[in-house]
Each structure stands twice: as structure tokens, then as C-alpha cells.
Structure 1
Amino acid sequence: MPASSRRPARLQGRVCRGSRAVADGVLTRAELRSAAWRPLFRDVYADAQLDVTHRTRCAAAAQLVLPPGVVIAGRSAAALYGATTVAHNEPVDVLVPTGQRFGPVSGLAVHVGAIDEVDVIRRQGIPVTTPTRTCWDLAQWLPTEEAVAIVDRLAHKHLVALAPLRASARARVGDRGWKRMVRVADLADAGSESTPESRLRVRIVLARIPTPVTQFVVEHDGRFVARLDLAWPHLRVAVEYDGLWHDDPEQLHRDRRRLNRLLGEDWIVLHVTAKRLREDFDGFLDELRQALRSRSR
């Protein structure tokens, strides 16, 4: 006989500790295993009608799983700042102070490192690493391309300033991971407006092509012509990332009209799609190098 899908009023739309709900006589263990409840972590359940987001999981971990001193960090911290998106079913990144024992815990990605008091704040009641400390951890835990893309977003949202971040990274010469932080900070650009644009720019720079200007505005006789994702203004060469929003016919029409104006201004504009970035990036690099060479003569 299937378990009752009971949702007591006091727990509706909430996250609870299963053992506490059973001890209080609110639910039975069989009812917790019913379709009415969704397990988030060991002994932590959410009302199945609750829209569980990554933030929900971060809050549940902070309130019901993490011991004092352990904080939300990395991609999860960046998601709480609105600088990236993490799926609801992905592990929550947490940082455990060196010397403190915790984990492993299913549903958590546990990292260990030194934490200073100034590295932690509370955001909507959740203990989380500061944006600056989050950048440091991202640089250590993620591939460079992905870390830079998130640091770009933190900088674009004015949560970190890149000049102090770079200075701070260089001030920690000799600390474990300082070179990775310097690399990520040097590659970051607050002008980037999307994660794909960030990744494209980083891959171009890592291919030893001169760093482009982000969101460059082209004007003619003081009048706006276009704004370009990536540009080498002195050579009049630009790269545009074509995202999924080009399925919108009106947006496609506006973009192509903008491209025509740019061609009238004697620009070379190369377009990159997600498919090309994934499957033929070397071919695109050859085209970009050729375009830059043709304008350098």
C-alpha cells in the first residue's frame, strides 16, 4: 500500500529536518518517503510543491546541514550573488576551514581552505564567502575559462572591482594558488555582457591573439552606429557572438541592419555561433588571425 502523500499545514512550502518532523509526530517515516516530499540532503526534505532552486538548497544546507564555520562558496556563492546559474540538482559548493572535520555529504561539494572572518558575510541569512573571496575560490576550483566568465559577471554587477582584485592577487605572491588568481584576474573584463562572450574572449586571448575591447561603440560624425561584442578598433576588426536569441526574426533583422552599417564603415565583422565555438574554434581562429593580419599591413 503506497504511503500517504500528506503535507501538514505547518510544513507546506517549507524545508524540514525529517527526523525532527517524525520526532514531533508531524510526519511518519513512510510519509517522508511519499511523493509529497523531496529529499535534498540526508534527513532534509522539501515540500514537493515547493519550487526548489539552487538558492533553496543553499539555504537548506546552511540552516540544517552545515556546522558553524562552514560556509557557502564557489559557484554556489556566485549564484547567490546573481553572477551565474547553477541547476537545482547540482551540488552546493561549501568551504570548510582548515583543520575542521566535515563531510563527505551527498549533495555537497566540500572544499577545505583557510578562511578569515573578513572572507564571510551573511546574505539573506546564509553564510557565504564575500565576492572577492569567491573570486579566489573560483580561480582555484574551476577551469580558467569558466572562472573568468563568472568573475566577469561579478565585476559587471559591480560586486568586485578588477584593479583592487588584481592588486590583491599579486600581494599574495607565494600563497598556494596565487598564480591562478592572477591569471583569472588579468583575463577578467567587466565589460563582458554574457557568459558565452566571456568564454569566447578568454579563448581568443589564450590563443595568443591581442586582447580585444569589449562592447566597443562605433560612431560616425558623432552619431551611434553600433556596439560590438569584441573589437580591435585600430584595425576595424570585430567579432560578434550569435546567441540563441537570434531565433527572434526581429532581433536578427536589427543585427543584420547593424552589420550592414558597419560594413559601410569599412569594418570586418566575424560571427561565431555556439556550434562553431564548440566544433570549429580552430577554424574561426584562422579566420580571425587572417583578418587581423590583413589590416596590419
Structure 2
Amino acid sequence: MATRVGPTTGIHIHHGVIDPGDTVDRAGVTVTSPARTCWDIARWLEVVEAVVVIDSMLAKRLTTVTALREYALDRAGRRGWRSLLRAVDLADTGAESPEESRTRVRLVLAGLPRPETQWVVAEQGKFVARLDLAWPQFKVAVEYDGLWHDDPEQLHRDRRRLNRLLGGDWIVLHVTAKRLRDDFDGFLSEVRAALQARSRSTR
């Protein structure tokens, strides 16, 4: 006797028509293709969370920006094609963590110029630091402080390299998951103020 699976707390189930080519075989299991998965995610998730997943898939080279754009345009007029295009336009292959993606997308959606990801700072050809998010023309950067900062040695190394940046006239703003959750508007104001101050000084 088959068991019928009913609603489960915290799980939302969506149904959709599967087009030819929308599935692939993974170790004997049929799953949706990367492009179809991104389309479904863009249709059903809020844009920031959709970009988080798409960033991860791009970083793992499961798909490409070009492939996702083509997939969306091939389905123009169907529910979700514009959502996928929007998410892809906000995506970045350089994102290295979900929280970095969330930080970047929220800042861009708030009206700030799009930052560079994993920007490398060098002095006289020597590596100084790699920044999570950076506006190099203004020498302003954002660093996401994740759980790995519980390691005192890693925190020490990180702060030491960032101190070198501060000596090189960079403004480095730090953000944590708690700050993003509880005081994003305050953090946004700090980033905007830094960019505006540097913009005035470069005129």
C-alpha cells in the first residue's frame, strides 16, 4: 500500500511542467538540470535567496551566465523567465559564501554601485589582500566576518592584512550575519557614506 505524503511543516511544494531536456541523470537518479533548477529557484524564491543559490552553482561551474540567459530567453513569456534574467544579472561567479552573496545583492538592490568580488590588492607587484567586496576606484571595501573568525589565529592574520590596507588609504567596513539581520540599514548608511566621501575626494 502506497503512503501518501502530505504537507510537512517548513516545506513548500511547487509543481511545474518539465520540458524535454530539463532533466539529467545523476548516479541513476533523475534530477532537474542546472538551468531548470535555477529557473525554478528564481520563480519561487525571493531574489536575494535565488541569487545565493545561483552564485553557488556558477562558482561550482554547474552552469554559466550565458547558458542561464539563453534558457530564460528561450522561455520568454512563461512564468519565471524575467525572474531568472533578473537573478542572473545580479549573480557573480566570484562569490565565495552565501552571506557574501546576500551582502552584495542587498547593497546593489539598495542602489549602491555593483562591487567587485574577491578583489586582489597588490603593492609593487606583491600580494597584500583579497577583499570580499570592493569598489577599487574609491578604495572602499566590505569584509564579511563569518564563523571561521572564531579561530583566533585566522582572525589575527585577517586583521593584520586589513591593517596594511588601512595604511594604504583603504576604508574597510566589516559586517556580520547579526548586523545584516538586525541592522542592515545602519550598515548600508555606513557603506554609502564611505563611497560618497571617496567620490567627492576623487573629483
The TM-score with structure 2 as length reference comes to: 0.92
Partner of 1:148: 51
In the alignment, which of 45, 66, 88 is matched to residue 163 of structure 1? 66
**Structure with larger RCO (C-alpha < 8 A, sep 6+):** 2
Distance (Å, rounded) in 2 between the aligned partners of 1:187 and 1:169: 14
Q: CA deviation at 1:109?
A: 4.5
Q: CA deviation at 1:106?
A: 4.5
Say whether residues 1:217 and 2:135 are aligned partners: no
Q: CA deviation at 1:114?
A: 1.9
Conserved? CA contact 1:138–1:147, under 8 Å = yes
Partner of 1:228: 131
Cα distance per residue 1:7-54 (max 9 Å; x no partner): xxxxxxxxxxxx6xxxxxxxxxxxxxxxxxxxxxx75xxxxxxxxxxx
Structure 1, unpaired ranges of 5+: 1-18, 20-41, 44-102
Distance (Å, rounded) in 1 between the aligned partners of 2:24 and 2:75: 22
SS in 1 for 2:15: strand
Letter in 1 for 2:57: L
Q: CA deviation at 1:202?
A: 0.8
In the alignment, which of 110, 118, 135 is matched to residue 207 of structure 1? 110
Distance (Å, rounded) in 1 between the aligned partners of 2:96 and 2:65: 16
SS in 2 for 1:110: coil
Q: CA deviation at 1:175?
A: 1.6
SS in 2 for 1:218: strand
Say whether residues 1:245 and 2:148 are aligned partners: yes
Q: CA deviation at 1:166?
A: 2.1
Letter in 1 for 2:76: V
Q: 1:273 to 1:225 in 2, by over 3 A?
A: same
Distance (Å, rounded) in 2 between the aligned partners of 1:276 and 1:182: 29
Identical columns (%): 61
Partner of 1:133: 36
Say whether residues 1:124 and 2:27 are aligned partners: yes
Distance (Å, rounded) in 2 between the aligned partners of 1:201 and 1:170: 25
Alignment of 1:179-190 (within 5 A): 179-190=82-93
Conserved? CA contact 1:148–1:185, under 8 Å = yes
Q: CA deviation at 1:142?
A: 1.0
Partner of 1:75: none
Partner of 2:162: 259
Cα distance per residue 1:52-75 (max 9 Å; x no partner): xxxxxxxxxxxxxxxxxxxxxxxx
Distance (Å, rounded) in 2 between the aligned partners of 1:292 and 1:131: 36
Letter in 1 for 2:6: V
Q: Which of structure 1's runs of 4+ aligned residues deviate more than 3 A?
A: 103-110
Distance (Å, rounded) in 1 between the aligned partners of 2:31 and 2:67: 21
Conserved? CA contact 1:104–1:110, under 8 Å = no
Distance (Å, rounded) in 1 between the aligned partners of 2:184 and 2:114: 17
Distance (Å, rounded) in 2 between the aligned partners of 1:235 and 1:195: 25
Partner of 1:55: none
Distance (Å, rounded) in 1 between the aligned partners of 2:96 and 2:177: 16
CA-atom RMSD in angstroms: 1.6
The TM-score with structure 1 as length reference comes to: 0.64
Alignment of 1:1-297 (within 5 A): 43=3, 105-106=6-7, 109-297=12-200
Cα distance per residue 1:109-161 (max 9 Å; x no partner): 43222212310012122110011110000001111111110100000000011
Bigger radius of gyration, 1 or 2? 1
